Chains A and B, each alone.
Chain A
Amino acid sequence: DTEVTQTPKHLVMGMTNKKSLKCEQHMGHRAMYWYKQKAKKPPELMFVYSYEKLSINESVPSRFSPECPNSSLLNLHLHALQPEDSALYLCASSQDGGPQRNSPLHFGNGTRLTVT
């Protein structure tokens, strides 16, 4: 088990549904990340929050909406997704600055999302 907790572990949703993915860490990390990973592919960065402010948005469609309510929590709100959005969604956290300042990312176990 990792120190980054993601819920739910699995999610099946229709294209008209609204759902949210949740991520929590209690390591005192100040940077949190959302990655998307398709089968047999490496993780792809979606969003980075640093000190609860969105610092990187990798041109992600607006049907994905991140939220960082506090330094321990990170949400990803989903609305009107497409079947091609089906993937493993990984949350990660790191100390200040992440790899930029030589701090490794620690990943959660992910939410496996299926859009029908």
Chain B
Amino acid sequence: EDKVVQSPLSLVVHEGDTVTLNCSYEVTNFRSLLWYKQEKKAPTFLFMLTSSGIEKKSGRLSSILDKKELFSILNITATQTGDSAVYLCAVGSQGNLIFGKGTKLSVKP
């Protein structure tokens, strides 16, 4: 059975800290791995990763994929209170997205 596992499930940090969120997967016909940020409404697309070892970066956020070890990490540096959200990892397979349960990040002032 295909599965996507995220850790930790929740995390509380202070502003300025650096955090690393983890996503491991076991799926047939892997196509891509995506990271989304969800606050109160729509999941907002962050990154799509298809190749191992190539870091994708957007401001303070970065992500990398390891297709040999079947995992990805999402790094957030110099966290801000606006980074508080649920971060969802999803793996594309067979035309579907399989979501992990998410990591709830709370950034305290």
User: Residues on A close to B: CB < 8 A?
Assistant: 2, 4, 41-45, 48, 50, 55-56, 88, 90, 97-102, 104-110
Contact = CB atoms under 8 A, between A and B. Distances in A.
Nearest to B34: A104
A5 B100 CA distance: 25
A56 B44 CA distance: 23
Contacts of B96: 45, 48, 56, 99
Given A42-B90, A56-B95, 14 more contacts: A2-B42, A42-B99, A50-B95, A56-B96, A90-B42, A99-B31, A99-B90, A99-B91, A100-B92, A101-B31, A102-B32, A104-B48, A110-B41, A110-B42
Given A42-B88, A42-B100, A104-B48, A99 B42 contact: no
Nearest to A45: B96
6 contacts: A42-B102, A43-B43, A50-B95, A56-B96, A104-B34, A107-B44
A109 B90 CA distance: 18
Given A42-B88, A98-B92, A99-B34, A109 B97 contact: no
Interface string B1-44: 00000000000000000000000000000011010100001111
Contacts, number: 69
Contacts of B44: 2, 107
Contacts of B95: 48, 50, 55-56, 97-100
Contacts of B42: 2, 4, 90, 107-110
